[in-house]
Each structure stands twice: as C-alpha cells, then as structure tokens.
Amino acid sequence: MPSPTSRPDDPAAALRTPSRPHSDAPTVLKIVIAGGFGAGKTTAVGAVSEITPLSTEEYLTEASTGVDSLEGVEAKQTTTVAFDFGRLSLPDAPVPLELFLFGTPGQDRFVDLWYDLSRGAVGAVVLIDTRRLETSFTPVSFFEDIGLPFVVAVNHFDGAHRYQPEQVRAALELPACVPVVTCDARNPSDVAGVLLTLVGHAENAPATPVHPAPNATLQDA
C-alpha cells in the first residue's frame, strides 16, 4: 500500500513564493465550499466547474422530516451525503490558478467530514442563506476553530431580503479581517469572483496550520 502523502501545514505558501520554478504552471489549490443545509454549495460547485462535477446527492426521505428543515428551500429534494467535487482553471488570474473545489454536506452531523475535507485546503467559502442564518453558525465556528482562512458569501435567493454585508458581519460576529461578499450561487462569474476573494484572503492570512476542532465544537454540532 502506498504511504500517504504528508499534508503541508500552509497550503497558501505556494501563493507567497516569489519565484516558482515552473512559472507557467498553474498554482494548484484545494478549496472547501461549506455552509449550512441548502445554502447552495452543490449549486456553486456545479456552476463554476469546468468538468462534470462529482456529486453525492441522495433523496431526502421522511426520516429527515423534523431534522433537516426545508423552510425556504421547500423545492429541495436531495441533499449531499459525502461531498461535491469540481475543478476550475483561472489562467488569467494574477497568478495562474487551478482550483480543486470540495463541497461539504451541510448538516452539522457531518462535522467530522468537514474536517477531513479541510485537510490541505488553502481556505473555505462559507455560503450563507440569510433566511436561515442560524444554519451558518456551526460552519463559521468550525473554520474559526480549526484556523482555516475563510470568506463568507451571501447567496442571494429569490425573494430573500437583501442585507448589507456589514449587517451580515455583525449578525455573525465576524472580525473585520473576514471578507463578506454577495453572490448568486448559480452564476459562474459570481462564484469565480468569490473564489478569487478567498485566494487573496488566504494569501494574506497568517500561516496557521489547520488543527483539529476542539471537542466542544464537535459536541455542540
């Protein structure tokens, strides 16, 4: 069996290296697309991916009634049970990039999987549905706890009240250094813009290795 490849503690270091040996080669980065149940994670990965995205959707069943609230997303029939995977090349970015996108399942009960998917990632996007802001509390706390740079992206659902980014920042008690942006998860250029915001943020964030979430977070989830 091949030995596992060790994970660099600071994946964003590739962005800060002044002269890379193969300057034409894109910098490959892993990015996590997170957020609460039904926030639009699978939609965002699918919108922007240049390959047919890998998805692990399963039908919602009666067993999830009363567990996974469909308020605001009543038309939703499926949910991600493992992860989404997509790829996006951005050759014209200030540094040519190849982004590997990993969408998480939304429910808090998958928090162990969120941790596994975060290994080796340069950062995370936390998608927010402002109609159900409470579903984003655990994902935000999770990335704060493990020390992974993240941006908050407000996914504008039709008919939802449009809050200002600073109102969202206040409601989530986010520090000024965490970017808060808006997007439509169905729009490829919106999602690409969010990803570039994250890459810029991760490049400037202090290099802190991802560490296991404290037990308190896991128990609370």
Ligand X SMILES: Nc1nc2c(ncn2[C@@H]2O[C@H](COP(=O)(O)OP(=O)(O)OP(=O)(O)O)[C@@H](O)[C@H]2O)c(=O)[nH]1
Rounded Cα distance, 157 and 175, in Å: 25
Instruction: Assess 181 for contact with ligand X (CB under 6 A).
Output: no
Selection from ligand X, Mg ion, none that 49 binds (CB < 5 to 8 A by kind) is none
Selection from Mg ion, ligand X, none that 39 binds (CB < 5 to 8 A by kind) is ligand X
The residue nearest ligand X at its CB is: 106
Report the site for Mg ion in 58-87 (rule: CB under 5 A). 80
Q: Minimum CB separation from ligand X for residue 176, in Å?
A: 26
Q: Minimum CB separation from ligand X for residue 152, in Å?
A: 14
Region of 70-78, 113-121, 193-201, 203-211 interacting with ligand X (CB under 6 A): 70-78
Q: Minimum CB separation from ligand X for residue 182, in Å?
A: 10
Tally of helices (H runs) and strands (E runs) in the chain: 7, 8
Q: Which of 76, 207, 211, 214 binds ligand X (CB under 6 A)?
A: 76
Measuring CA to CA, how many Å separate 56 from each of 7, 37, 38, 69, 130? 25, 14, 14, 20, 25
Rounded Cα distance, 139 and 45, in Å: 17
User: Per the structure block, which two tokens stand in for 33?
Assistant: 């697309």
Report the site for ligand X in 77-106 (rule: CB under 6 A). 79-80, 105-106
DSSP state of 96: -
Q: Which of 29, 40, 42, 130 binds Mg ion (CB under 5 A)?
A: 42
List of residues 6+ apart from 177 with CB closer than 8 A: 205
**Is residue 98 a contact partner of residue 89, using CB atoms and an 8 Å limit?**
yes
Per-residue contact flags (x/-) with ligand X for residues 40 to 69, judged by CB under 6 A: xxxx--------------------------
Residue type, 170: A
**Is residue 83 a contact partner of residue 117, using CB atoms and an 8 Å limit?**
yes
Name the site residues for ligand X (rule: CB under 6 A): 35, 37-43, 73, 75-76, 79-80, 105-106, 155-158, 184-186
